[in-house]
């Protein structure tokens, strides 16, 4: 029988394929695409997913080795600086590995530990982990729509 950690990790990894599978086909020219009257570009959303994964590793799971300046979370607006697809792919690959590494270390008891963040209040680690699963899937849907219907725009 699988542990809670193994099951939750599998769930997250499978859910994240909605995002990671899209990365293979995204080009530099796609990164500035936006929907009309929308604020976020594909480049911004990719960076944002990586920022939030690193914030989860650090703030939810307590990985003190994570050094992050979550610019997309801090600025809350697309500044137009996320224009290099290879840099972004590397960033989200590293954020994935960092979060995966700390999640793999969780014990059965750890998942019931209550953590508190300003973003979503008091939750068990298992509940909080549900937020990163849904966060990535939510933005993956946005990426797919923007890439299909969006237009390259000057940021």
Q: Which structural domain range is residue 125 located in?
A: 4-152
Residue 69, pLDDT score = 85
CATH of the domain at 108: 1.20.120.450
Axis crossing angle, helix 42-55 with helix 85-104, rounded to the nearest 10 = 20
The rounded percent of the chain whose pLDDT value lies above 70 is 98
pLDDT band per the 50, 70, 90 thresholds, residue 77: confident
Look at the alpha carbons of 103, 109, 111, 113 in this order and tell me if their dihedral is positive or negative.
negative
pLDDT at 154: 61
pLDDT tens digits, 42-64: 999 999 999 999 999 999 999 99
Query: In Å, what is the CA distance from 78 to each residue of 9, 32, 66, 120, 153?
Result: 30, 10, 23, 23, 12
pLDDT tens, position by position, 7-42: 999 999 999 999 999 999 999 999 999 998 888 999
Q: What is the mean pLDDT of residues 83-90?
A: 97
- d(C-alpha 77, C-alpha 44), whole Å: 9
% residues pLDDT > 90 (the chain): 83
**Domain total in the chain:** 1
Q: What does the DSSP 8-state code read for residue 122?
A: E
In this structure, of 95-99, 107-111, 151-155, the range with the lowest mean pLDDT score is 151-155
pLDDT average, residue stretch 65-90: 91
Among residues 82, 69, 94, which one has the least CA distance to residue 26?
82
For residue 39, the model assigns a pLDDT of 86
């Amino acid at each position: 029988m699988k542990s809670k950690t193994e099951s939750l990790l599998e769930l997250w990894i499978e859910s994240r394929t909605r995002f990671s599978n899209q990365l293979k086909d995204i080009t530099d020219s796609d990164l500035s695409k936006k929907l009309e009257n929308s604020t976020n570009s594909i480049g911004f959303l990719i960076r944002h997913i990586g920022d939030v994964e690193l914030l989860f590793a650090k703030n939810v799971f307590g990985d003190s080795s994570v050094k992050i300046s979550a610019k997309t979370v801090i600025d809350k607006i697309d500044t137009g600086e996320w224009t290099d697809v290879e840099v972004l792919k590397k960033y989200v690959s590293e954020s994935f590995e960092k979060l995966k590494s700390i999640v793999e270390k969780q014990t059965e008891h750890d998942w019931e530990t209550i953590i508190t963040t300003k973003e979503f209040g008091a939750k068990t680690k298992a509940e909080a982990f549900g937020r990163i699963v849904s966060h990535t899937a939510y933005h993956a849907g946005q990426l797919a729509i923007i890439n299909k219907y969006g237009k390259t725009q000057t940021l």
